[in-house]
Structure 1
Amino acid sequence: MSEESFNTLNGKVDDLIDLCAEMKRENQVLKAEKSTLQHERQRLMEKNQLAKTRLQSVLDRLKSMENC
């Protein structure tokens, strides 16, 4: 293998190492964002359920008032 070929190959390996490190960092960021979004989704689902429960309570009271 000539020195030029070796240097070219070495450069490509270095590029792959850099790319791998960059992708690893990006993956960590995406995992953190995913976790944050999952928690936010859970919070919103709980909030939505509470709103449904309250609305149903109001509707039930209105129905009982109609029957009086």
Structure 2
Amino acid sequence: MVDSVTEQVIQLEQRVDRLMRLCDQLRDENRVLLNAQESLNAERAALLDKNETARARLEAMISRLKALEQS
């Protein structure tokens, strides 16, 4: 009876240890993913800004061309 209880306690401790290691691993993975997401969001913002700049320049060129056509 005592051996059975001791064995169950040992098994429970092992399961808790595995769960703790898994939690640590998932926490690390989550940190990596959050950093990657932050980096991608910054890259996206930079690309949107470049796109907006290019669009504004194209619209300005089109306006100048139209003005040249009319004169």
Q: TM-score, normalised by structure 2?
A: 0.89
> 1:6, 1:15 → 2: CA distance?
14
Post-superposition CA distance 1:32-62 (Å, at most 9, x none): 1011011101100110010001000111011
Q: Report the identity percentage.
A: 35
1:22 match: 25
Give the number of equivalent residue pairs: 68
TM-score by length of 1: 0.93
Q: 5 Å matches for 1:1-68? A: 2-68=5-71
Kindly provide the amino acid, as one letter, of the partner of residue 19 in structure 2. Answer: L
Unaligned runs of 5+ in 2: none
CA-atom RMSD in angstroms: 1.1
Q: Which runs of 4+ in 1 moved over 2 A?
A: none
Structure 1 segments unaligned to the other structure (5+ residues): none
Work out which of the two has the higher radius of gyration on C-alpha atoms and give 1 or 2: 2
Structure 1 residue 3: Cα displacement: 1.1
Once the 2 structures are TM-superposed, how far is the Cα of residue 24 of structure 1 from its aligned partner?
Answer: 0.6
